[in-house]
Amino acid sequence: MCIFTLGLKFTYKGSPDDYQHLNLFLKINNVWKIRWMQRSTGNSDLDLWDWIS
């Protein structure tokens, strides 16, 4: 399993934008597949993922 986060801050047409991508990948039959994706505003708190391990 792999958890990938990406934070982006930018300005579009004069309006600031700040959001996070959170992706969960699983390796199935030796191929990485996207299991879950989310885009949200704010910061990703990776401590919320402790239940996975």
Q: How many domains in the chain? A: 1
Residue 2 in domain: yes
Residue 45 in domain: no
Question: Under 8 Å CB-to-CB from 53, ≥6 apart: which residues?
Answer: none
Residue 33 in domain: no
**C-alpha to C-alpha distances, 49 to 10, 21, 28, 42, 46, nearest whole angstrom:** 27, 15, 20, 16, 6
Quickly state the pLDDT bin for 45 (edges 50, 70, 90): low
Residue 48 in domain: no
Quickly state the pLDDT bin for 15 (edges 50, 70, 90): confident
Cα–Cα distance, 2 to 4 (Å, whole number): 6
Residue 15 in domain: yes
Q: The domain containing residue 16 runs over which residues?
A: 1-27
Q: What is the mean pLDDT of residues 11-28?
A: 88
